Structure 1
Amino acid sequence: MLSAPSQLLIKNQTLFTQGKWLLVNPEDTDIFTQLDANLDGFYQYFDIYQQAEHLPGQHSFAASLESNQQYDGVIVYMPKAKAQAQMLLANMANMLKTGGSLWLVGENKGGIKAAPKLLAPFSDQIVKQDAARHCSLFRCTINKPVKPFNLKQWQTEFEININDCQLKICSLPGVFNHGALDTGSRLLLESIHTLPNGKLLDFACGAGIVGCYLASKNPAAQILMSDINALALHCARQTAELNNIDASIIASNGLNAISDKFSAIYTNPPFHTGTKTDYQVSEQFIANAKKALTAKGSLTLVANAFLKYPELLQTHLSTVKVLAETSKFKVYHCQL
């Protein structure tokens, strides 16, 4: 089913019939079959990328796009974080032919109203092309100098110190709690006092904080970090490198790309997709977690206290123990 921003593009599809176009972080793949245009796709989210791999055109999954291909137009779906939008637009402006057009589409409640400011560094001719279905579509023709794009220039580093473990963390816009250690993950780490040997999984790893902490506390363990977000995977690799940690880091939609079994899984799972509350990823993860654990494996999970995870954990795993809690968060532990 087409998202509202994709429906707005279809409504204006006569604008995209000429030349070569790139869609950036589309929210669905039906747009590629329903929009009458010569399209490629660039994705920072692995689930949509997997759905698009079989479609005509070139489809790329990465933190940033590096390509010699030059496009007549690039259409960026507005991300949740404005800083991520700035970074994406800076990257995509380099993908355009001379005189090419840069577009931004998104829901009004998702920050699209900031489009004129976001596009201003690239053009002084910004047009609101259309508005419908609680969405807006903006375009501009590049008429200002475009700076070469370097992802490292958007990276920041910060340090954490928990239980006498000091780590350097790499972060990018679009990664969970960019530039800081979130309260939930801190509570999770502070509640981990002993670690099993064997294989350990940091699910939905974000910038790699939990996985690198596990590796630092138990160098003998084999660490796997997974995430759906290419920006997060990039940061996790950089964080591991900054701390001289050897870990495997992979893209996975839930547990779909993970075949190993683990002595323990640690996670601060997501419950948002873009601007929308979405429990499906976490609920599916909990339902499948037992299959990814060894016979006496364990799951340790931190979540907002209001989420109804204890019932799910008891249903799919075992008796739930609360290791730590605050007024906002709880750390749950299940031992098989």
Structure 2
Amino acid sequence: MEYTVGFDTFTLTLKSEDGLFSPRGTDRGTMAMLSCVALQPGEAVLDLGCGSGLVGLYAAMRCGAANVWLTDIDERAVSCAEENAGRNGIEGLHFCRGNAYEGVDRAGFDWILSNPPYQSDFSVAKTFIEKGFNRLKMGGRLVMVTKRLEWYRNKLISVFGGAHIDRVDGYYVFTAQKRSMRYAKKRDTVAFGNNNLHKESHCSLKR
């Protein structure tokens, strides 16, 4: 299925297929996540679990394609993302295939963006969070979107020492910033943004 996604200054055309994430069009959770990130030109971004590539292509338009990596465990997903990059005339992206961060040949990311599977156990998300910590630069952010609250909040706080939470269109968007070179100690942890849990966030896609 081919579909278009409009943003403030550009439109992306994507094609997906059965067996890949969100084969019938734009995923609301992904759009919720994108509404809460403020990517800047030149920042390094990893689209973790890229599927058909919407997040990575969006990041390329904001940050420059040479600064964006896309990875997925599914070879078909990576191929689909590559095709979508070509469909939109975007060149210079870095495509990788592997489990979580396997195959990703750099660290020091400003952003790691992910819409992890949340209708299964938490093993994938656990790996994404724990290993993602060391793939971020100081001050870098891991952003995840899900419909599950407690486990993600507790896990992100245990690793990063804090997590900001936005409630957008029925989803939780978690942002955890790397503020130390080591995992947080229990006495260092604090929850950020709890006041956002009881109201809808109306983040705009316009920057």
1:287 deviates by 1.1
The residue type paired with residue 89 of structure 2 is N
**2:184 paired with 1:317:** no
**2:20 paired with 1:175:** yes
In structure 2, the gaps of 5 or more residues are 179-207
Distance in 2 (CA, whole Å) between partners of 1:198 and 1:245 is 17
What's the secondary structure of 2:61's corresponding residue?
helix
| TM-score where L is the length of structure 1 | 0.49
The residue type paired with residue 269 of structure 1 is P
Kindly indicate whether the alpha-carbon contact (under 8 Å) linking 1:204 and 1:228 is maintained by their aligned counterparts in 2: yes
Moved more, 244-253 or 219-228: 219-228
1:44-89: per-residue Cα shift (whole Å, max 9, x none)? xxxxxxxxxxxxxxxxxxxxxxxxxxxxxxxxxxxxxxxxxxxxxx
Note the 1:101-112 alignment, pairs <5 A.
none
Aligned residues: 176
1:326 deviates by 3.4
**Aligned with 1:253 (options 88, 91, 99):** 99
Kindly indicate whether the alpha-carbon contact (under 8 Å) linking 1:172 and 1:231 is maintained by their aligned counterparts in 2: no
Distance in 1 (CA, whole Å) between partners of 2:105 and 2:19 is 27
1:247-304: per-residue Cα shift (whole Å, max 9, x none)? 11111101122241112111111235xxxx2321111111111111112211111111
Kindly indicate whether the alpha-carbon contact (under 8 Å) linking 2:43 and 2:63 is maintained by their aligned counterparts in 1: no
- RMSD value, Cα: 1.8
Kindly indicate whether the alpha-carbon contact (under 8 Å) linking 2:118 and 2:147 is maintained by their aligned counterparts in 1: no
1:196 deviates by 6.1
The residue type paired with residue 18 of structure 2 is P
Kindly indicate whether the alpha-carbon contact (under 8 Å) linking 1:227 and 1:251 is maintained by their aligned counterparts in 2: yes
Note the 1:119-268 alignment, pairs <5 A.
156-195=1-40, 197-219=42-64, 222-246=67-91, 247-261=93-107, 262-268=109-115
1:244 deviates by 1.4
The residue type paired with residue 31 of structure 2 is R
Note the 1:91-110 alignment, pairs <5 A.
none
* 1:326 paired residue number: 168
* 2:141 paired residue number: 298
What's the secondary structure of 2:134's corresponding residue?
helix
1:190-235: per-residue Cα shift (whole Å, max 9, x none)? 2223436342100001110000001112226511000011221111
Kindly indicate whether the alpha-carbon contact (under 8 Å) linking 1:196 and 1:263 is maintained by their aligned counterparts in 2: no
| Runs of 4 or more consecutive aligned structure 1 residues displaced over 4 Å after TM superposition | none
Distance in 1 (CA, whole Å) between partners of 2:35 and 2:118 is 22
The residue type paired with residue 290 of structure 1 is F
Kindly indicate whether the alpha-carbon contact (under 8 Å) linking 1:227 and 1:253 is maintained by their aligned counterparts in 2: yes
The residue type paired with residue 265 of structure 1 is I
Distance in 2 (CA, whole Å) between partners of 1:257 and 1:192 is 25
Distance in 1 (CA, whole Å) between partners of 2:33 and 2:8 is 12
Kindly indicate whether the alpha-carbon contact (under 8 Å) linking 1:305 and 1:328 is maintained by their aligned counterparts in 2: no
Give 1 or 2: higher strand fraction.
Answer: 1
1:164 deviates by 3.6
Distance in 2 (CA, whole Å) between partners of 1:220 and 1:249 is 11
The residue type paired with residue 114 of structure 2 is T
1:167 deviates by 0.3
* 2:151 paired residue number: 308
1:332 deviates by 1.0
What's the secondary structure of 1:311's corresponding residue?
helix
* 2:177 paired residue number: 335
